[in-house]
Structure 1
Amino acid sequence: MRHTLPIAPQFYVTAPQPCPYLDGRMERKLFTSLQGEDAEQLNDSLSLQGFRRSQNVLYRPSCADCAACLSARIDVSRFRPTRTQRRVLRRNRDLSRRASSPWATEEQYDLFRRYLDARHGDGGMADMDMFEFAAMIEETPIRSRVIEYSDPRGNLTAVSLTDILSDGVSMVYSFYDPDRPQNSLGTFMILDHVRIAQEAGLPYVYLGYWVPGSPKMGYKARFAGLEVYRDREWQPLTDPHEHDGTTHPLSVEPIAEQVANLRLPDRRWQPR
């Protein structure tokens, strides 16, 4: 006789801290650990519900009175590049792509440090050393790849840590050469991940969180076919201005309700 038992991960909430995206707001996250033989199944299930991976943790914003952060993904079937995006692809056509197992190198870290110093010198990763960088890249219990882009001389130009989900690819973290602003390398990597998903027959490219009103995160709304996770479902993003970063004590469900409403995968168990 077969029995179906739910996987029952434990969920926790971080202490409030200043929001890195919107001034004057406080950030809080709901999170759980990602480990064991069911890690990929749990990651797939919670990714469909707006969670993101960081090393062996899955998390989702759960701020007390703010619902601004919306998980975003590109529906590859509805994506059409704009004229500007086609120019970005042409501008970077000489870059070569290489995918490898998640293994950190000094060359990656050097590029990562240059990127942080130029773009996010006051961010939460500003003090990350080589050992912490290696942990970010290598500590993954699921199928992950490091996607490297190099110029014709072999110089490392851009890197993305990418997870392979059952329904798409998820760009966990990316960085690039800050001395090539004309190449729009951040945009290029997203466009190339659309191609990767198309080549693999996967329907979505997961981009992390889109935050209306945040200069750091607003660029994601420029991609056709974008969907956001809101009110427990994925919805096509129509007019970005319709999303105003809601702040209200009732805009977020209580933590207990959030956890109770999560759809968790089932584990098939065969008694011996």
Structure 2
Amino acid sequence: MRHSLPTVPQFYVTAPQPCPYLPGRMERKLFTALQGDHAEAMNDKLSQQGFRRSQNVLYRPSCADCAACLSARIRVADFTPTRSQRRVLKRNAHLKRDVTSAWATEDQYALFRRYLDRRHTFGGMADMDVFEYSAMVEETPVRTRVLEYRDAATGPNGPLVAACLSDVLDDGLSLVYSFFDPDMADQSLGSFMILDQIDLARRVGLPFVYLGYWVPGSPKMDYKARFSALEIYHMGKWQDLDDPARFSGATHPLSVQPIAEQVAQLSLPTDMGGPVNVPPRKGKL
């Protein structure tokens, strides 16, 4: 009789390269392929341990002499918008949200290109063509949605002004990538999309909104610390970001665990060869 063994994921480490967030530092990532029948369970489980998804890869920073990148998420039930965030919601009340499948469109790419050309000219994604953009959106082995925001003040099919690619996890929404009309920078559309996803998660009964990485000392990431009920994954557990000033990300080589130990401490789905129990949701996405 032939027996099939559970698939055990293999983990790898990237070569060091200049950090895009903190000058003078080098970044390195621990990553694994996201594929097969257990892709959703892996995405759920490793997202809860500080990993992020990029197409069919899950990764987490694993730098030799820096620990600045901290996965961040918002506790939906405890979130309360600030006065400034309430103004952002009011300014953008005319926007209409459409939730679509993970399918790239010409409208999206045109907006994406304008966003990169104006705001991230020298970033790692600056040269992405339409085929690479389509791959970013469509090559997903998990439940992914595109949230499009259109200006309803000009009609039901108004112009696309912002979009967000998000994964639906068993315990929350995970923002993979977002972009918006650079001519509307004063509308705070980046913050608005986070606020809207908090509202959406609350409506469907999901407890968290995962924001990606918060990097203390990086001006690009300061805005994430302005959201209340924010948790960060630090020292192997989620904890409140009560005082951002106490996280500098500074460390030394002897304080970093070897990669083998980091992998050994990861918690994987209970049975990689069978179904994983998923708690019921209150709504659908």
TM-score range, shorter chain: over 0.9
Letter in 2 for 1:136: M
Quick check: 1:232 aligned with 2:236?
Answer: yes
- Alignment partner, residue 283 of structure 2: none
Q: 2:118 — aligned with what? A: 118
- Do structure 1's residue 243 and structure 2's residue 264 form an aligned pair? no
The one-letter code of the counterpart of 1:116 is L
Answer whether contact 2:94 2:151 (CA < 8 A) is retained.
Answer: yes
Taking only the aligned residue pairs, the percentage that are identical comes to 68
Aligned match of 2:165: 161
- Residue by residue, what CA displacement relative to the aligned partner does 1:15-57 show, whole Å, maximum 9, x if unpaired? 0000000000000000000000100001101000000000000
Matches within 5 A, 1:85-96: 85-96=85-96
Q: Tell me, in whole angstroms, the C-alpha distance in 2 between the residues paired with 1:7 and 1:35.
A: 10
Matches within 5 A, 1:174-213: 174-213=178-217
Q: TM-score, normalised by structure 2?
A: 0.91
Q: Distance in 2 between matches of 1:95 and 1:268?
A: 42
Shift of 1:252: 2.3
- Structure 2 partner of 1:14: 14
Q: Which amino acid aligns with 1:203?
A: P
Q: Shift of the alpha carbon at 1:7?
A: 4.7
Q: Does 2:66 match 1:62? A: no
Structure 1: which 5+ residue stretches go unaligned? none
Name 1:28's counterpart in structure 2. Answer: 28
C-alpha distance 39-96 of structure 1, shift in aligned 2 (>3 A): same
Q: Which amino acid aligns with 1:185?
A: L
Q: Is the 8 A contact 1:55 1:135 kept in 2?
A: yes
Deviations 1:77-108 (A, max 9, x none): 11100000000000000000000000001110
Q: Is the 8 A contact 1:150 1:158 kept in 2?
A: yes
Q: Equivalent residue of 1:259, what SS?
A: helix
TM-score after normalising by structure 1: 0.96
- Residue-pair matches, total: 267
Cα deviations by residue, 1:93-151 (Å, 9 ceiling, x for unpaired)? 00000000000011100100111111110000000000000000000000000000000
Give the secondary-structure state (helix, strand or coil) at the position aligned to 2:123. coil
* Cα deviations by residue, 1:141-166 (Å, 9 ceiling, x for unpaired): 00000000000221001000000000
Which residue matches 1:129? 129
Root-mean-square deviation over aligned CA pairs:
1.3
Contact 2:233 2:239 (C-alpha < 8 Å) held by counterparts: yes
Which amino acid is the alignment partner of residue 34 of structure 1?
L
Mean Cα deviation higher: 94-103 or 5-14: 5-14
Aligned to 2:256: 252
Higher relative contact order (CA 8 A, sep 6+): 1
User: CA offset at residue 269 of structure 1?
Assistant: 5.1
Distance 2:73 2:32 in 1: 22
The residue number in structure 2 matching 1:138 is 138
Structure 2: segments with no counterpart, 5+ residues: 275-285
SS in 1 for 2:182: coil
Aligned to 2:83: 83
